[in-house]
Structure 1
Amino acid sequence: METDLIYDDSKSATPSNPSQTLVLVGRTGNGKSAVGNSILGRKAFMSKLCSRGVTNTCQSERVVQDDGQIINVIDTPADSIEKEISRCTTIAKNGIHAILLVFSVRDAFRGDKEVLSHLQTIFGSKITNYMIIVFTGGDELEETLEDYLTPQECPPFLNEILELCDNRLVLFDNKTKDNLKKVEQVEKLLALVELVSKQNNSKPYTKEYFNELQVEIKESELTLEKQLAE
């Protein structure tokens, strides 16, 4: 079931356990929804292997951890992402704390080479400060993630993304039945989210920043049009 809720966690979150909002982005078939389900610990997002995305609008779900911390997870559609992704800043009332860019180890090297510039166009160049790379298909990888991503084998576009993200990456096995492994991979991801938060001085990406960016883009376009006309 699709939901499009604006969460106000001010009454439920505490200063020591502030809520965190994670946004999943990536190409159809990379396993975004499955990653979201792994984070939540339940099947909240529709997830199945197919060439056509099953998520057609932003969907928000949350989980309250044992320590009381609230994790909001927003799954985004692969199609019409420009329209839907902007809604994330509205859905995430307290801001976005991390963008999870999802790749599959099956075809990461043949992935969308324009994904970085696409996200930077939508969110601005500073969005890389909030990005974490999540690789799915951990059950299929017969080597370590580090060996898989050797500079010699890794394509330039992926190397660039990893470099801009300070190599913040984690491998997910969304099919594992091992409860310990399930917990460990989510804990590793949340540790990276905490690192991102510290590096950004605990300032999330907000709707206000997004709106300011859109104004700047519009002004730049108008200036260019004026220059061309002259």
Structure 2
Amino acid sequence: MQQNRDPPPYPEKLTIALLGKTNPLKDAIGNKILSAEDYFNSASNDLVVGENNSFIVIKTHDFFDEKCKHPDQQIIDFMAISYPGPNLFMLVMDPGNTQEEKVVAQISKLQDIFGENITTHLVVMLPDVQSSQSLSHLREIFHVQLGSADDNLVHECRRWSPIRNSFLFNYKNYTQEAVTRRRAALEKRRYNPPSEDATAGTRLYVTPDNIFNIVLLGQTGTGKSASGNSILSLGSSKSRPRPFVSRPSSIPVTKVCDARFMSQGFGMPVRVVDTPDFFHDELRNPEAQVAECRKYCQRGECVVLLVLQLGRVTDGERGILEKLEDMLGWKLREETIVVLTHADDLRESLVDHVNSNPALRDIVDKCSFRCKVLNNNSKGTKQVVDLIRSIPNYEKRFPKLAKKESSECLLC
């Protein structure tokens, strides 16, 4: 039932909701509004919020995905984060979905979810001028604005927003109590990174998606990407995701956070996340990449693999655990396994090797002696199975996997 409430005062900072199917244009529009190059990306369908001094931008789930298992929860999450309602909705149509029937279908779906008056706060974002011209009559039919991601986008966002009038959810399909209760829960997950750069996104929310994350951290040249590919090999050949880009180099090969989903091999969905060297001088926009990593690297929802090269602890790796904890905002040593690559070079027991290197021993001690070796040139999976079974609370996190007695069952 629509409640008779006065709209909140028109704010100096506008809240904009990006709607539509997951696609690069949706990310590009969000990044353009925030004046950030890599704040949003299409690696997943998470609900993410970015903020600068002028805008709060909410990148929503794909509400049009008919295969989504929990659409109501995704909608409530969005309503909770944007409560009492955004100033502007942007329905982003990617180049493959600009046919009139598809645009009309998505507008109608939004009206069904949020109420017919959503169109008074809605801009349909199109990929090119030709699409805008061919669909111009929709302005009169639905009373919506049509726009594109041109150089005047930031200015246009304020022009499109109804003056002194934020959108108010009508709670036709969802109760206000459920939304406000969910908002309180999500507030506990709010993240404020240390950067105060007014030109970049400075806040991030992310809602849980019940996918366990394996996050690889470490410096350039240690073998993070190759280790990620070794983990991906646990999946069956038919369902195995494409490998991470991996090659020997003294400069970063991995320049952005890169995620792969595994539906088989663990008994539950798992996301493997490769990351750049956050401390490398040649990494562009490290603050945005740290914010992206933070989405996946959250207490209780991940394991961190701190990748080092066997026989080598560089000056930059001394104190790396503390640097990463400061950067990511929690005591991740409690969920970290030290992974030593180039296991084929090991000429003594792992315990003796660790004890003979004080810098390495210090890192391993802080991670409660969780340390494994990997030979990323090996085609077998036994070493990776051994690594996975050293994940803290392994039995509780992977109960189906824990019951399997042989490594071959991992490939079922």
Task: Report the TM-score, using the length of structure 1 for normalisation.
Answer: 0.69
Unaligned runs of 5+ in 1: 13-17, 200-230
Would the alpha carbon gap of residues 82 and 135 (structure 1) be closer, same or farther in structure 2, given more than 3 Å must change?
farther
Map residues 196-211 of structure 1 onto 2, 5 A cutoff.
none
Partner of 1:173: 375
Map residues 66-77 of structure 1 onto 2, 5 A cutoff.
66=265, 68-77=267-276
Q: Does 1:35 align with 2:227?
A: yes
Does the Cα contact within 8 Å between 1:109 and 1:154 map onto a contact in 2?
no
Partner of 1:227: none
Shift of 1:195: 2.6
Partner of 1:98: 303
Partner of 1:193: 391
Does the Cα contact within 8 Å between 1:103 and 1:111 map onto a contact in 2?
no
Partner of 2:259: 60
Task: Report the TM-score, using the length of structure 2 for normalisation.
Answer: 0.40
Does the Cα contact within 8 Å between 2:335 and 2:392 map onto a contact in 1?
no
Counterparts of 1:161 and 1:145 in 2: how far apart (Å)? 14
Counterparts of 1:102 and 1:67 in 2: how far apart (Å)? 21
Does the Cα contact within 8 Å between 1:137 and 1:174 map onto a contact in 2?
yes
Counterparts of 1:144 and 1:22 in 2: how far apart (Å)? 26
Does the Cα contact within 8 Å between 1:133 and 1:169 map onto a contact in 2?
yes
1:143 to 326, 337, 348: 348
Partner of 1:203: none
Q: Which amino acid aligns with 2:258?
A: Q
Classify the secondary structure of the residue corresponding to 1:107: coil
Would the alpha carbon gap of residues 30 and 198 (structure 1) be closer, same or farther in structure 2, given more than 3 Å must change?
same
Counterparts of 2:42 and 2:309 in 1: how far apart (Å)? 26
Shift of 1:94: 10
Q: Which amino acid aligns with 1:72?
A: R
Counterparts of 2:296 and 2:370 in 1: how far apart (Å)? 25
Counterparts of 2:245 and 2:308 in 1: how far apart (Å)? 18
Q: Which amino acid aligns with 1:187?
A: V
Partner of 2:211: 19
RMSD (Å) for aligned C-alpha atoms: 3.0
Classify the secondary structure of the residue corresponding to 1:83: helix
Counterparts of 1:123 and 1:93 in 2: how far apart (Å)? 9
Would the alpha carbon gap of residues 125 and 92 (structure 1) be closer, same or farther in structure 2, given more than 3 Å must change?
closer
Tell me whether 26-35 or 162-171 shows the greater mean CA deviation. 162-171
1:87 to 267, 272, 292: 292
Tell me whether 104-113 or 40-49 shows the greater mean CA deviation. 104-113
Classify the secondary structure of the residue corresponding to 2:270: strand
Does the Cα contact within 8 Å between 2:213 and 2:296 map onto a contact in 1?
no
Classify the secondary structure of the residue corresponding to 1:139: helix
Q: Which amino acid aligns with 1:83?
A: A
Would the alpha carbon gap of residues 22 and 67 (structure 1) be closer, same or farther in structure 2, given more than 3 Å must change?
closer
Does the Cα contact within 8 Å between 2:307 and 2:340 map onto a contact in 1?
yes
Partner of 2:194: none
Structure with higher Rg: it is 2
Partner of 1:164: 366
Q: Does 1:5 align with 2:44?
A: yes
Would the alpha carbon gap of residues 6 and 170 (structure 1) be closer, same or farther in structure 2, given more than 3 Å must change?
farther
Unaligned runs of 5+ in 2: 1-40, 47-60, 62-67, 71-209, 234-239, 398-412
Partner of 1:205: none
Would the alpha carbon gap of residues 191 and 110 (structure 1) be closer, same or farther in structure 2, given more than 3 Å must change?
same
Counterparts of 1:109 and 1:197 in 2: how far apart (Å)? 34
Classify the secondary structure of the residue corresponding to 2:244: coil
Q: Which amino acid aligns with 1:89?
A: R
Counterparts of 2:69 and 2:357 in 1: how far apart (Å)? 45
Q: Number of aligned residue pairs: give it.
A: 185
Classify the secondary structure of the residue corresponding to 2:390: helix
Partner of 2:357: 154
Would the alpha carbon gap of residues 82 and 131 (structure 1) be closer, same or farther in structure 2, given more than 3 Å must change?
farther
CA displacement, residues 196-229 of structure 1 (integer Å, 9 cap, x when unaligned)? 7869xxxxxxxxxxxxxxxxxxxxxxxxxxxxxx
Would the alpha carbon gap of residues 102 and 67 (structure 1) be closer, same or farther in structure 2, given more than 3 Å must change?
closer
